Structure 1
């Protein structure tokens, strides 16, 4: 069985055709609707507000460090962690002690250095004596050449021993003390090479480590970057040098945009925080916005838009009439849309029952069959 139920457009036409205030102008998009008819149809108005100069869509980002701002402090030699002087989030200055390692390997390296220094002193004295004897005509030139060759060999061995200890973190002052006094120690104090903040602590007291094991991480937090994830379709809008707004009041600048698209159809953007970095913490997830000029775009409810073929309009209320104003939809997201057209701040547009206004505008009605 079928029956007819009047559509909202049909109700609109019946109400409007019974009113002496309704008139249609074929050459105009203006048509009359009384306040009583608006209430009967449930038409609500929204007022257009002045738009900011720029708008933008927000995207998620994570606060990261530039590669050159982060440092892993590794064990220079195998040994036992005997002391730890720092804790996470502690700021350290250049030369501050971090960790003490007890290492037999270090003792062997120092012993090799002392032996090489003693050997060099001996061959130097021998070379000096041989040159003096040669000058007196007592020995041949061959003996001088042999002594000088032995001196060069001893110098090379000493340089190698010093280089090994330097790589192990021994300072030049300590090297001089070892070579001059022959003092050997199995303990090595690992120090900070730059002023930074301890962001991670891997070492524990009593832990045995091998060479190159990570002991802790240091970071210079005066410069922060952002890793921004954006839809791949938005990547063309993001170019190096563009300014960013960061939630919380910070600002940034785009450094680069990845040319590759990830599995989630996203592109990665690297940006530098240029102001407000003190309000951000490493690892934070924040929202960033790339501002774009709005021009003449207006933010309106998507329900306020009516379509007739290729024409898109909104209905503007003006002195008892509605005016169907042609617009262009610039962008839409969710229940909002950005549109452009001959609109101005203060215009009141219909946000509900737009289908009824469309029927009145066209001067037609109908019924829906169920």
Structure 2
């Protein structure tokens, strides 16, 4: 008899011998396999030593900007874009001019501020005069009270018009210069209120814009987050103190919180703040990350070929005195040809790492081969 015929016969004998006790398999998942049958089918085992540290399962993620790091500069007043003073992808410093906007509305705001300043100045002078006259007994107290009310109104009007100018883009020193000199500015120069990078220019010279129209977008990439999609059933299992790593890059992140809403793909969003290697990724980039879970200390490292699937459930086959025992496991990490699993395993267990498909067929009482 040739070796091929002997091996095929041994395999058929193994599967045939296990067709009968199918009912018992459903109870304890144990089935007999002799040493000779293992040799015939090329089944080898690996002895478990101790649980291995898990770097984490790989999940898709996107690099995003934190909300406070992404700023849209909009038109504070209606007008015409006179000149752009920056270019796309240019790095900015605080206070750097961005663009000039010619606006009749801005002129009206300046005029209102000057009128309010004049009224306030007159009201303050009137109050001082009324105080002196009242002290000399020349005017009644009612005149003094009216002057105090007018002075209070004058201050309030000046504060309101000055605030309108600051909202339009003038800083406090510029507002003070305008009120002190009385010289109106012909155009409004918008300045950067934070450092960052120009990521989008939406305005062009000569373009008419309405109030609140977006002009450009500034992003500060010094801080970045990862938006990670993890299965909803693992939403609360991630390690609070574990480092998330980006596959293939020296980038790590610290997990912050998982979303409360499950998406269409039955996933939740896990947000993580990049703590190292922020300059190795860009906002909007899609990456793969490894997320450690809190139960990683009890995981076992095995070859990928050691895991068999029955439906959605994963199994490994553990050698026993009579044969093998099919045990349920959860795959919690994978990298290349290695996986990390959780399940009823212990040190010194011998797990089948080859010809697992043949063991699965024998376990289920099937007649299929490898």
Is TM-score (shorter-chain normalized) higher than 0.5?
yes
Q: Does 1:313 align with 2:317?
A: yes
Does the Cα contact within 8 Å between 1:8 and 1:355 map onto a contact in 2?
A: no
Aligned to 2:280: 279
CA distance in 2, matches of 1:342, 1:127: 91
Residue of structure 2 aligned with 1:299, choices 285, 297, 302: 302
CA offset at residue 147 of structure 1?
3.5
Does the Cα contact within 8 Å between 1:306 and 1:313 map onto a contact in 2?
A: no
Aligned to 2:73: 73
Aligned to 2:109: 109
Secondary structure at the counterpart of residue 120 of structure 1: helix
Secondary structure at the counterpart of residue 77 of structure 2: coil
- Unmatched 5+ residue regions in structure 2? 15-31
CA distance in 1, matches of 2:45, 2:55: 20
Aligned to 1:23: none
CA offset at residue 154 of structure 1?
2.4
Moved more, 65-74 or 150-159: 150-159
Aligned to 2:207: 207
- Unmatched 5+ residue regions in structure 1? 1-5, 16-28, 317-321
Aligned to 1:90: 90
Secondary structure at the counterpart of residue 94 of structure 2: coil
TM-score, length of structure 2 as denominator length = 0.74
Moved more, 52-61 or 221-230: 52-61
Aligned to 1:246: 246
CA distance in 1, matches of 2:153, 2:169: 25
Per-residue CA deviation, residues 173-217 of structure 1 (Å, 9 max, x unaligned), is: 221222121101231111111222222222221111111111122
Aligned to 2:176: 176
Aligned to 1:19: none
Q: Does 1:231 align with 2:231?
A: yes
Q: Taking structure 1 as reference, are residues 242 and 113 closer, same or farther at Cα in structure 2, changes over 3 Å only?
A: same
CA offset at residue 134 of structure 1?
4.4
Alignment of 1:315-334 (within 5 A): 324=323, 326=325, 328-331=327-330
Aligned to 2:151: 151
Per-residue CA deviation, residues 155-174 of structure 1 (Å, 9 max, x unaligned), is: 22222211211111112222
Does the Cα contact within 8 Å between 2:199 and 2:217 map onto a contact in 1?
A: yes
Per-residue CA deviation, residues 33-76 of structure 1 (Å, 9 max, x unaligned), is: 49xx95xx573758779884225321101111222222221111
> How many residues align structurally?
334
Per-residue CA deviation, residues 329-350 of structure 1 (Å, 9 max, x unaligned), is: 42359998747656769x8956
CA offset at residue 149 of structure 1?
3.3
Q: CA RMSD in A?
A: 4.1
CA offset at residue 137 of structure 1?
4.7
CA distance in 1, matches of 2:58, 2:196: 32
Q: Taking structure 1 as reference, are residues 240 and 199 closer, same or farther at Cα in structure 2, changes over 3 Å only?
A: farther
CA distance in 1, matches of 2:353, 2:163: 81
Does the Cα contact within 8 Å between 2:77 and 2:212 map onto a contact in 1?
A: yes
Q: Does 1:265 align with 2:269?
A: no
Per-residue CA deviation, residues 293-321 of structure 1 (Å, 9 max, x unaligned), is: 364624235478699xxx973569xxxxx
Per-residue CA deviation, residues 67-92 of structure 1 (Å, 9 max, x unaligned), is: 22222211111111111112232221
Q: Taking structure 1 as reference, are residues 48 and 306 closer, same or farther at Cα in structure 2, changes over 3 Å only?
A: farther
CA distance in 1, matches of 2:268, 2:196: 31
Q: Taking structure 1 as reference, are residues 357 and 203 closer, same or farther at Cα in structure 2, changes over 3 Å only?
A: closer
Secondary structure at the counterpart of residue 237 of structure 1: coil
Aligned to 2:23: none
CA distance in 1, matches of 2:359, 2:131: 116
